[in-house]
Amino acid sequence: MELESAYRKPIIGGNLKREFKHGQTRKLIFEIAEELQNNPVDPDKVDVFIAPSEVYLSEAARAISELEAEGKLPKGFIKLGAQNVARRDKLGAFSGQHATATQLKEMKVSHVIIGHSEVRHGSNEDTEDMRFQESNKVINAKVRAAIAAGLTPVLAFGEDAQERASGREFSLVRRQITESLSGISKEEMLSSGLVLAYEPVWAIGAQALRAASKEEADSMQRFVRSIILELFGPEVAQTIRIQYGGSVKADNAASLIAQASIDGGLIGGAAKKAETFLPIVHAFAAMQKVPAPLTGRSLYDALKASGLGKIVARGNKEFRDHDFGKSAVTMCTNIRTPLSLDGIMQAAKETNSVAILQQAISEFDYTWPNGYSPDNVYRFAEEAHQAAARNNFSDYILKADHVTVKVDKAFLKDQGAQDQLATLLETILTATTNTEREAIFAAAYENKDFMANDNIKNAMKVLKKAVEHTKATVAAGYTIFALDASFMPARLNILATAFLAGFIPANASIEAEVGEIGNEDNSTVADALEFITGIRYQETIQRDPKTNAIVYSELVKENNQPVVVSRIKGLLDHGITIDRLAINNGTSHGNNYDKEGNPIQTKMNIRMTQAIAEALKPFGIEIVQHGVTGTPLSVLPQLRAAGIASAHVGTHWQNIVWDTLTEKAKEDPTIQALVNRIRTTLVEKYGKNYKVTSLTPSPEEDKVLHAKNLAKLIGKD
């Protein structure tokens, strides 16, 4: 589902805070009306509300009513908003409290701001700014009271500078949204027209550190929409409007509103004058959203079409046959440090190429603070968007690499555990919706008897993480997915892949994997066909006499038909089609070394790869190649002819960053200290695996061997 594809009418709110004196609110509204007469705004293109201090609500209501009666203001165009509301719609002995929702309605208020940063991040003490702190529970009560009275809540949320600096912004916002909307139904969300407003505290008011970049705002608002999808389903997620508030002015409004995720603005300082407020209203009314971004589906559709000589427009780029044709291999770049993003994008611009930026689940563990988390899925997207803005580059796609379901050897020896998990997955796949499928999975996960077997428990944990990761990457805008349950036997690989694929939207491109990359045995034609069709064919296998590795396989035929050995349900039987298949053809991830510690290049089995690619052609499936860093350059031109449509390059960029650091360290003591710290950490954590106990060899150690082992340690880990 493309949550950003639906049109949502922009909504602009002018929050006047406690800025005005008696008569000034009326004066502002009259000035706005006069400006609108000279430069009208189409009321069908944008909604507008003004939220004055509570004491001036009646003054504002009268001004709007007078202007509408005189025909100087389109009826209903400027709506009246309030800045807060009582948490209970109840009259009584509540001295000094906010007006109730019903009282606000009687004053002709239609919208009410709830949870503004100036109440969320206040204090119970007598501080200089005199703001009172409201909890998520209090804010939730106010939202429910507003909805019950027929008001439209404008629920504000956002993190402060310290929370963002510590990497907690996504988890904090998730908690704010979830707790503030607790107990509210889908129907209430739709009928009330509830609006969300993202307000990063560090970008608000006179004390603002800076305005949020459009990438920061877009990333957070996409994240929030994904939370709404989880809580209330696709209808609410597609229709709910999310404003951005934080130092929005006429000069930066255009870049913000062009983002598909931003549906309006909650305006503070610029709302105090008609001459600064209305240009923002005009900008939103006339806004042109950015073109639909390049997606995995559009890219690979264009690749196929270009081979037929067609021109296919996708996102900001036209793909022609001279751009791709039959010789194109798309490169997928694993980003293990954000330092590599700018160079990759600059190179892509210079060569008129598309950049596919990806991370595997395992790579999140060592790339981002606190390791893997759904929040860091969004952080990677945000880093990519910011790098794209720096480099004025738009032809990139985010990819979820190696969405792994990795089981241990104990599980692979436990046939009973495998059969029970397979039965569960088969039951899950009979359900027609993801909601039903997740409910079946969740029930099994909570079933103590089912989870009593440690092998099942461990497999369920990794499967649960893969589901959560798939959903998070979908919500963050990733549109290529490399599903990898290749650690499992064929039947379970098929079932787990089919389960995960069900969460992936139609605008995405899907890859899967047969044969664990770097494992001893290469994948065969029979392996690939069994995965897709469920049919296991008899084959003859040729092995290397020295290494016993599979060099080639060929299907056994009788009467010119391949001999069937067994049948199970393949991916196609579960209604899953993939675009590319990863196979084990002799390459491995990372830098490679021989037994003596000397760096070596990997040997890609081109002949076997081509045989598998030919067998998959009738299904429209091509090969995706992993572990290309160690492949000789002379082999690369052969990839496309071997049926390889896409190739992964990861360690190469890491090597460039490391080589750059070590070179710069010769001149810069600070960088040298960083390099030393990295080396020391590697020795402490992984040195024993390479017989390295310190950065310098002991008197008893062979210096040459120590240097090779240290280089291998750095190169591999």
CA separation, residue 165 to residues 13, 200, 373 (Å): 28, 12, 17
Cα dihedral sign, 505-511-514-517 = negative
Given 199, 382, 511, 622, the catalytic residue: 199
Cα(414)–Cα(2) distance, rounded to whole angstroms? Answer: 41
Distance CA 311, CA 123 (A): 60
Q: Which of 468, 504, 500, 507 is nearest to 486 (CA)?
A: 500
Nearest alpha carbon to residue 61 among 26, 102, 98, 13: 26
CB proximity list for 452: less than 8 A, separation 6 or greater: none
Token pair recorded at residue 166 = 């510590």
Active-site option among 4, 35, 111, 116: 116
Return the SS3 of 53: coil
Q: Report the distance separating Cα 39 and Cα 44, nearest Å.
A: 15
Q: 1: closest CA among 359, 404, 297?
A: 297
- Rounding to the nearest 10 degrees, give the CA dihedral for residues 31, 32, 34, 40: 160
Decide: 67 and 60 in contact? Cβ < 8 Å: no
Query: Is residue 708 within a helix (H) or strand (E), and if so which, with residue range?
Result: helix 703-716
Taking the chain, what is the end-to-end CA distance rounded to the nearest angstrom?
38
Q: Is 199 a catalytic residue?
A: yes
**How would DSSP label each residue in 280-331?**
HHHHHHT--PPPPPP-HHHHHHHHHHHTTT--EEETTEEE-TTTSGGG--EE
Eight-class DSSP state of 339:
G
DSSP 11-52: EEEEE-TT---TTHHHHHHHHHHHHHHHS---TTT-EEEEE-
Q: How far apart are CA 49 and CA 29, in angstroms?
A: 11
Which residue, among 40, 39, 30, has the nearest Cα to 66 in the 3D structure?
30
- Measuring CA to CA, which residue among 520, 517, 531, 296 is closest to residue 404? 517
Q: Are strands 78-82 and 47-51 parallel, antiparallel or unpaired?
A: parallel
- Catalytic annotation present for 116: yes
3-state class (DSSP) for residue 511: strand
Strands 564-567 and 535-537: antiparallel
- The residues pairing with 646 across neighbouring beta strands, listed in sequence order, are 330, 624
Sequence-separated (6 or more) residues with CB below 8 Å from residue 713? 682, 683, 686, 687, 689, 690, 692
- For residue 633, give the DSSP letter: G
Do 221 and 244 touch, CB atoms closer than 8 A? yes
The full length of the chain comes to 717
In angstroms, rounded to a whole number, what is the distance separating the alpha carbons of residues 199 and 156?
A: 7
Q: How far is CA 405 from CA 462, 496, 512, 687, in A?
A: 6, 8, 12, 28
Nearest to 650 by CA among 672, 631, 634, 663: 631
Q: Which residues are part of the catalytic machinery?
A: 116, 199
